[in-house]
Amino acid sequence: MRILEGIKKYSETKRAAVINVDSDKKTTLSYLELEKKSNSLARFIIENTNLVERTQTVKKPIPIHGGKEVSMLISMMATLKSGRAYVPLDVSFPPTRSKSIIDEVCPEIYIDVIEGKVRYADDKEIGLEEIFSSYDDSEIDRDTWVKDDENAYILFTSGSTGKPKGVQISANNLHSFEPWMSGELGINGDETVVMDQPAYSFDLSVTEVYTGLTNGATLFSISKEVANDFKALFSALESSNINVWISTPTFVSLCLANEDFNGDMMKGLNKFLFIGEVLPREVAHKLLDRFPKADVINGYGPTEATVGVSTVKINLEHVNGKRSLPVGTPMPGHFIFTLEEPKGEIIIAGPSVSKGYYNNPEKTKASFIFIDREELGKYSNYENFYVLEKLMDDFGGHVPAYKTGDVGKISDGQIYYHGRTDFQVKLGGYRIEIEDIESNLRKLDEVDNAVVVPIYKEEKISYLRAYVKLDEKYLKSNQVDSVDAKTIKNNLAKRVPKYMVPRNIRFLDSFPINTNGKIDRKALMEK
């Protein structure tokens, strides 16, 4: 894999791979330490798990639980070197969520970075530091590394049934994405500092990790504690020397609330990249005004197509226009189109498309398709038809494609995003199935029924609101008249990540019904 080759190459320099800023300390991890410690851990994995065959059924994925600790990256690279996929479980996940994912992958071992331990399926455990000190740290045979169509990582996203879906991303998918994105961001082997703020369980983090470590950059890693402490965050940013900023629009909006967040404060910053949610025109305008020497790049792409598939450099003409901001032109070698005109569901075909959801053939069949050579005539009117023709040759007449569920329009080569076809939303960059929250709300003893709706402000979703009908039997049996919103939120937070807990909860005696006999969501939003 290119990222492992990059780490090996830059381990021969004195460069820092990661500078992690936590609330009480700053930790630096060199490329040499990353190389050697990941070798030791990879050798431990190989010697203590079943790698008789190079088949997905034998090579169980390895869950890794933690936040932005440097040992998270060491563990991720070690699993790749051992020939296995990693499954990042963020520290913010409630235990029930993490357990459901662990149960899904049935791992032989589980790495708990927070506790500094590796646990076996039979509950035996060993400390990470003991592994680093006692296992050989020489280079792992490259034939063992994850390669070709083998899974590199599996990210579990919100699922409509209340059960997370595991998106499988292969080495081939990453080899399609990383060189293109590295070029877009100008990360080319120079001593670049790249911001590393998104959680490793969030696909946006793949952007800085794979472009940065492949090309010898330093990841400036910001813990959740620092990101949530305005004073600590700005102190860290001022001393960071960041050149490339990667985040959601939501995070940069928080920073823009401080007037000191500008080009004078961050003199080396020359690129902003936003993928994961709508970039509001106002935010883009402020960035262009405060950082006149930096490029503001807007991007688009689902987790199922390896983070991003299009980018565009935003300019004043875009922000002063009447249309929503474009999300870019497709990356080379990808055929992106809509089935209907002038706008319709966005379909992505090409080498960055995932093989599907882990251990979930039903969901995979519903969202992933193949375009066969016999169907070529259907697409001959599209302006980039030649790309599909080339893909037919590359994939032997059977091109993988993903039905995104996003509604879009392609005009003058640019993709414009126009919302969703289903109940999926993006909030803070996280992809959330509304039905996932509703399903878990209904599992609460005190709730009879619940509906969740997104509340919009300035082109994007500002927060989620839940409408809840309480369970009368529960109230009577517990001899209470009502349950407050705080109780609902606290109990829901035991089932779903905090970013999925609605900010606002309103209680209803009954739900409005539309002419089809369904709950009228539009009427609810007007209440």
pLDDT band of residue 510 (cuts 50, 70, 90) is confident
Q: What architecture (CATH level 2) is domain 330-420?
A: Roll (2.30)
Which 3 state secondary structure label does DSSP give 100? helix
What is the arithmetic mean of pLDDT over 142-170? Answer: 92
In this model, does residue 54 exceed pLDDT 60?
no
Cβ neighbours around 202 below 10 Å, total: 22
Instruction: Give CA–CA dist 230/45, Å, rounded.
Output: 40
Can you give the residue ranges of every domain in the chain? Answer: 2-247, 330-420, 424-525
Name which of 15-29, 61-75, 171-185, 509-523 the model is least confident about: 509-523
Banded pLDDT at 515 (limits 50, 70, 90): low
Rg value, the chain, Cα: 23
User: How many helices and strands in the chain, by DSSP H and E?
Assistant: 18, 26
Run of H or E residues at 433: strand 430-433
The answer for residues whose C-beta is within 8 angstroms of residue 431's C-beta and 6 or more apart is 157, 158, 302, 303, 424, 425
Q: To the nearest whole percent, how much of the chain has pLDDT over 90?
A: 81
- Asked if CATH classification 3.90.180.10 holds for the domain at 2-247, the reply, yes or no, is no
**Of 526, 486, 517, which is closest to residue 503 (Cα–Cα)?**
486
What phi and psi values does residue 446 have, to the nearest 5 degrees?
-85, -5
User: What is the band of 104 on the pLDDT scale with cuts at 50, 70, 90?
Assistant: very high
Write out pLDDT tens, residues 290-309. 999 999 999 999 999 999 99
Q: Inform me whether the pLDDT recorded for 358 exceeds 60.
A: yes
Residue 467 near residue 450, CB atoms below 8 Å: yes
Cα separations in angstroms, 213 against 182, 218, 219: 11, 7, 8
Cis amide leading into 342 (omega within 30): yes
Please tell me the distance from the alpha carbon of residue 147 to that of residue 150, in angstroms, as a whole number: 6
Which band of pLDDT confidence, cut at 50, 70 and 90, is reported for residue 426? confident
Q: Which two tokens stand for residue 181?
A: 């994105």
Contact 204, 246 (CB under 8 A): yes
Instruction: Identify the helix (H) or strand (E) that includes residue 476.
Output: helix 472-477
Q: How far is CA 81 from CA 38, 127, 253, 491, in A?
A: 8, 20, 38, 40
Place of tokens 């069949």: 365
User: What three-state secondary structure class fits 118?
Assistant: strand
- pLDDT for res 53: 46
Residues 235-242 have a mean pLDDT of: 96
357 versus 122: the higher-pLDDT residue is: 357
DSSP state of 207: H
User: What CA–CA distance (Å, rounded) separates 115 from 505?
Assistant: 35
> What span, in angstroms and rounded, lies between the C-alpha atoms of 89 and 497?
11
Percent of the chain with pLDDT over 70: 97
Distance CA 212, CA 194 (A): 7
Mean pLDDT score, 81-86 = 97
Place of tokens 């040499």: 32
Work out the average pLDDT over 362-388: 94
What pLDDT shows up at residue 24? 80
- CATH of range 424-525; options 3.50.50.60, 3.30.70.260, 3.90.580.10, 3.30.300.30: 3.30.300.30
pLDDT at 516: 61
Angle between the 31-48 and 2-10 helix axes, to the nearest 10 degrees? 130
Residue 137 to residue 67: CA distance in whole angstroms: 25
Crossing angle for the helix pair 2-10 and 205-214, to the nearest 10 degrees = 50
